[in-house]
Amino acid sequence: MTTGPARVRFAPSPTGDLHVGGARTALFNWIVARQTGGKFILRIEDTDQNRLVGESIDGILESIRWLGLDWDEGPLVEGPHAPYFQSQRLDLYTRYVHQLVDAGHAYPCFCSAERLAEVREQQRARKEPPGYDRHCRNLSKEEVQAKFDAGETAVYRFKMPLDGETSFYDLLRGEISYENRNLQDLVLLKTDGYPTYHMANVVDDHLMEISHIMRADEWIPTAPLHVQMYQAFGWEPPIYAHMPVVLRPDGKGKLSKRDGAVGVLEYQQKGYLPEAVVNYLALLGWAYDDKTEIFTIDELIEKFNVEKVNPSPARYSFEKLEWMNQHYINHVLELDDVAARCVPFLVDAGLVDPVAADTTTGEFAKVRDTIELVKDRLKYLTEAPELVDFFFKDETDDYDAETLVPRKTEPETALAGLKAAREGLADIDFSDEEALEAKLRELAEEIGLKAGQMFMPIRVAVSGRTVSPGLFETLRVLGRDTVLARIDIAIQKLQAHSA
RNA sequence: GCCCCCAUAGUCUAGCGGCCUAGGACGCCACCCUUUCAAGGUGGAGACCGCGGGUUCGAAUCCCGCUGGGGGUACCA
């Protein structure tokens, strides 16, 4: 698709959180930049003062950063085409609009919002396609001057050719063409002096030397306008590749906030790994072959091919993403890595000291030892605290004596098992998991219990719950003192219960 | 309404004229492993490749129509 280094851009509009659909577009752009040794440019399209949510910019930058998509030019890092906020480039757009006006490709339009609404209303009543009626397109120089002199404000519209057709090549779909007579004289510059997306994006993409425009599907209908603008300016248009939109899980419309977690940062908070999110997003509409689906970021850079992105819209699946996340935690990341990523969540839960963030500390070692036991059953990092809390607390959470008694057994059975364990484990080497297991199995046999009947009460006694990591490794990590003390408590509980 | 895009199982997809009695994954169902829960292993159900016409010795793959879905139709992006 390209011969040299690509200059691509991701241009979010700061109107809220960056959501996964946008993140996917950003990812594809970033990958293309990296695989061609090009540049990934981040540009903030803050051209709509009404929808602007100032604080959202930080969140968007944080989201992109969290995903690991570093940008070469843009906010904070700047670059040769600064500023990268369109609100700081207003004079440029004004200048270029006037260039179009002078060349006869744009014109001021004095129509009020009311008149436009009225025109649309009438068109609808007559069942005609809605759109601007080009009322001001042929105003004479004198008429225009008179209106400005009278203090009227104007927007500037592009003077779309009335006949002929406009076509462009889309990397995923091939040639796409539109008949000009169906195209509109869209607004380029608004009355508040801000440009519309069309103006800002064409001017900036050209000035910033963007080579490939990879953006969402929804932009296809306005692409011919952009192509006409490039022509009017006498500029070479970039290569286009429109990414299919991400649909709601039920397929009924674009994915939006209403459909659950769609903000990138929500995934961070919910204990997802950026690697898993990236991997899932890459697979949404793209596949390398008929088998592979786990890709490191470097493999994506090596194997991804924009031209193979499936042009049909894809539904978003929370289930598959969840599976992907679990797969990464269970099978892709190394233990130390998972442990380190769990630390913030454990700290938040008040279980470990913040110094555990330093992987050379004993605190971290303890975290690693416990995470090792639950790594293969974690779906989200957020589950870590609830799975390992009993290793860090002095006592287990309170539990009902009943839970010490496995189904279909009597309290006496559980009590006998616990007492046997209490004695039998007293002088066992707790660092030796196999010895622990051998001893417990031996004790079970001695008192005529099945392994499960013996193990469950102990599990509950030491962890306070019926679901826990493997028993013997749990005992090993807990250590003799804690284990014996907790068994004592369990025995008391059971005796009190039966009395 | 008009314009544009898309079309392989519930979902994401492989396939780019014969290798397809359509492959993989998620989800689902069994069974195995097993000290709980996961993970893992094995097997299974699930697609007349949206429908109808062509082209061809041969079509999921090429062409046309239809239907369906999605997008756009703003002084929003």
Using pLDDT thresholds of 50, 70 and 90, give the confidence band for residue A127.
confident
Q: Which amino acid is at A171?
A: L
Any strand B atom closer than 7 Å to A471 CB: yes
Strand-pair category, A246-247 with A314-315: parallel
Q: Which of residues 192 to 211 on A have a Cβ less than 7 angstroms from any strand B atom?
A: 192, 194-197
Any strand B atom closer than 7 Å to A113 CB: yes
Per-residue pLDDT tens digits for A310-351: 999 999 999 999 999 999 999 999 999 999 999 999 999 999
Q: How far is the CA of A123 from the C1' of B1 (A)?
A: 10
Any strand B atom closer than 7 Å to A179 CB: yes
Looking across all nucleic acid strands, the nucleotide with the smallest C1' to CA distance from residue A183 is B3
| Bases on strand B under 7 Å from any protein CB | 1-8, 10-15, 23-27, 35-40, 69-77
| Closest residue, by C-alpha, to the C1' of B4 | A221
Look at residue A324 in the predicted model and tell me its pLDDT.
Answer: 97
Mean pLDDT of A77-83: 96
Inter-residue contact A430 to A483 (CB < 8 Å): yes
Mean pLDDT of A257-263: 87
Q: How far is the CA of A251 from the C1' of B68 (A)?
A: 13
CA distance A269 to A282: 21
Could you tell me where the beta strands, DSSP code E, fall in A219-296? 239-243, 246-247
Q: How far is the CA of A221 from the C1' of B35 (A)?
A: 62
Q: How many CA atoms lie within 13 A of A403 on its CB side?
A: 15
Q: Any idea which residue has 């779309």 for tokens?
A: A160
Lowest mean per-residue pLDDT among A32-36, A251-255, A371-375, A495-499: A495-499
**pLDDT higher than threshold 70 for residue A224:** yes
* Per-residue tokens: A463: 């962890």
| Closest residue, by C-alpha, to the C1' of B71 | A218
**pLDDT higher than threshold 70 for residue A401:** yes
Look at residue A368 in the predicted model and tell me its pLDDT.
Answer: 97
Mean pLDDT of A253-265: 89
Whether A270 sits among the annotated catalytic residues: the reply is: no
Report the percent of chain A where pLDDT is more than 70: 99
Mean pLDDT of A462-467: 95
Q: Which of residues 333 to 372 on A have a Cβ less than 7 angstroms from any strand B atom?
A: none
* E strand or H helix that includes residue A242: strand A239-243
**pLDDT higher than threshold 70 for residue A3:** no
Set A39, A147, A252, A257: catalytic member: A257
Per-residue pLDDT tens digits for A132-183: 999 999 999 999 999 999 999 999 999 999 999 999 999 999 999 999 999 9
* Per-chain mean pLDDT for chain A: 95
Any strand B atom closer than 7 Å to A217 CB: yes
From the list A348, A364, A346, the residue with the least C-alpha distance to A356 is: A364
CA distance A26 to A198: 19
Mean pLDDT of A483-497: 94
Strand-pair category, A187-189 with A39-42: unpaired
Look at residue A125 in the predicted model and tell me its pLDDT.
Answer: 86
- Residue A456, judged by CB atoms within 10 A of its CB (0-12, 13-18, 19+), counts as buried
Q: How far is the CA of A62 from the C1' of B1 (A)?
A: 43
Looking across all nucleic acid strands, the nucleotide with the smallest C1' to CA distance from residue A165 is B3
Which strands, in side-by-side order, build the sheet including A155-158?
Answer: A106-109, A155-158, A187-189
Mean pLDDT of A95-120: 95
Any strand B atom closer than 7 Å to A111 CB: yes
- Residue A337, judged by CB atoms within 10 A of its CB (0-12, 13-18, 19+), counts as middle
Any strand B atom closer than 7 Å to A245 CB: yes
Sign of CA dihedral A72, A76, A81, A86: positive
Using pLDDT thresholds of 50, 70 and 90, give the confidence band for residue A2.
low
| Closest residue, by C-alpha, to the C1' of B24 | A291
